[in-house]
Amino acid sequence: MNQVRKLKVFVKTFFILIAVFFVSMALVYCIPTSWIQGNVEKSVEVMEGEGEYPMYFFYRHSAIIDVHTDKLMYESLIQNRDYYNPIQASVSINQYPRYWHGYQVILRPLTVIFQVQEVRYLGMLTFHLLFFWSAWLMAKKTKPLYAMLYVLTVASGYIVFLPVCLQFLTTFLVLFVSLIVLLSRYDREKPIPAVKWMLYFFVVGMVENFFDFLTYPILTLGIPLILLLWLRVRDEQADFKQNFWFMFKASLSWFLGYALTWISKWLIATVVLGVRYFWRTMSVVQYRLEGSEEEPLDRIGTIQRNLKAWLNVQDGGVISWSKIALLVLIAAVVLMIWRKLKDWKTVGAYLPILIVALYPYIWYLVMSNHSQIHYWYTYRAQLVALFGGLVFLAAILRERKPDKAIQGEMEG
């Protein structure tokens, strides 16, 4: 009976959020096209002058700005079917119905007043405010060291470009807000029941799918989950088995929220626009999962491409796996000898963090077609691997106790 009650909460939350997504999209499409036409045209003109995939400063594939998709997002603000009503227009998005296009809920109202330059400026302000807020809360609720590791992780994804590319921006905003909610609600004195954390990840998965373009959604699962796994060991003395099952259930909750939200969009598109849109979407899904004759799947090659982009290896360059592995191993051994490991039970409790760190590579294997074509931005999913590796290493090493003389002076 208790399990049924818990399930009802998930079902209720799901249908409420789907209704919110659907109604909010329909409402913003009630805004007359004439109100945004001029700003859309001027914004598209600006982006056409920038080029489809410009590279500034670093001249690496990992530093490409996806102006092509940003322009598509702006062009989608103007519906190309005059006879569509707001509901049809909000579902179709110019015959691109397989995504929710949740960014429209923010972008369409803003475009009544602003052009792309001002929207990018607002995006930059929002990005940094939420980023600093989440880092401050992390330092407060954990330790400054872990907040620094978090800042380093996000910064390594070419943070200079993230706020000014709308496609890159949305997932990070979902990540920052989800971390702020997690850290604001977390109280080591009053542990939150595990089922509420499962509901949290379910909602995060739904919200991410609403805004997502398959950019690097795994960030919104991996980074909050790594943080929670660390907190559970510190505050609840969770062991390996407890943390492993928590990791499994949280990951499943996020995946169900993400997948069911996506499927619900396909069903809504079928009801509103017709069955042909469902089969069109299914053909795209098949292409993403299986590839095509022109673009056959190369799952190992996909991982290599994303690793090269992340490590800034040039197109013709070769990643020397043995050298990288050797350097990482030497660095880890030096740290372990210098600081020494905590007891093995504690080390084992942190092991699920390393499993989460592998999630980007599981994503690349499953969504190989998309990740091998768009590796120049999907590589950022590996920020989960970086954060997980850094947090795990910091967590398993013993902390140095302050010198007694210095401690006495500080207390005096």
DSSP 278-315: HHHHHHHHHHHHHB-SSSB--HHHHHHHHHHHHTT--T
C-alpha distances in Å from residue 53, one per residue of 49, 128, 214, 215: 11, 24, 18, 15
Contacts of 92 (CB under 8 A, 6+ apart): 79, 81, 84, 269, 272, 273
Contact 194, 242 (CB under 8 A): no
Per-block average pLDDT, block size 10, for the chain (412 residues)?
Answer: 79 96 96 94 95 86 90 91 88 88 95 96 96 96 94 92 93 97 91 91 97 93 97 90 95 96 93 80 71 74 87 66 64 68 82 96 89 91 94 83 47 42
Tokens of 224: 């909050």
Judge whether 171 and 363 are in contact, CB under 8 Å.
Answer: no
Whether 258 and 18 have beta carbons less than 8 Å apart is answered as: no
- For residue 322, the tally of other CB atoms under 10 A from its CB is 8
SS3 54: coil
- Angstrom distance (rounded) from CA 255 to CA 201: 9
Q: In sequence order, what E strands does 226-284 have?
A: none
Q: What is the pLDDT of residue 95?
A: 82
Residues 6+ apart with CB under 8 A from 310: 62, 379, 380, 382
- State the pLDDT at residue 237: 87
User: Strand pairing partners for 384?
Assistant: none
Q: What is the pLDDT of residue 409?
A: 41
Query: DSSP label at 139?
Result: H
b/e map 176-196, b = 16+ CB within 10 Å: bbbbbbbbeebeeeeeeeebe
CA 166 to chain centre: 14
**Dihedral angle sign, alpha carbons of residues 275, 280, 284, 289:** positive
Name the DSSP class of 103: T
Would you call 81 exposed, middle or buried from its count of C-beta atoms within 10 A (0-12, 13-18, 19+)? exposed
Residue type, 152: L
Sorted by sequence, the CB contacts under 8 Å of residue 133 that are 6+ apart come out as: 176, 180
User: Which residues, including other chains, have CB under 8 Å from residue 248's CB and lie 6 or more apart?
Assistant: none
Predicted local confidence at residue 304, as pLDDT: 86
Query: What CA–CA distances, in Å, run from 107 to 72, 76, 113, 115, 119?
Result: 12, 10, 10, 10, 8
- Residue 202, helix vs strand vs coil: helix
Classify 152 as helix, strand or coil. Answer: helix
Tokens of 111: 């475009």
The pLDDT score that the predictor gives to residue 293 is: 65
Fill in the DSSP letter of residue 316. T
Strand partners, 296: 291
Task: Tell me how far apart the alpha carbons of residues 186 and 182 are, in angstroms, rounded to a whole number.
Answer: 6
Up-side HSE of residue 147: CA atoms within 13 Å toward CB?
16
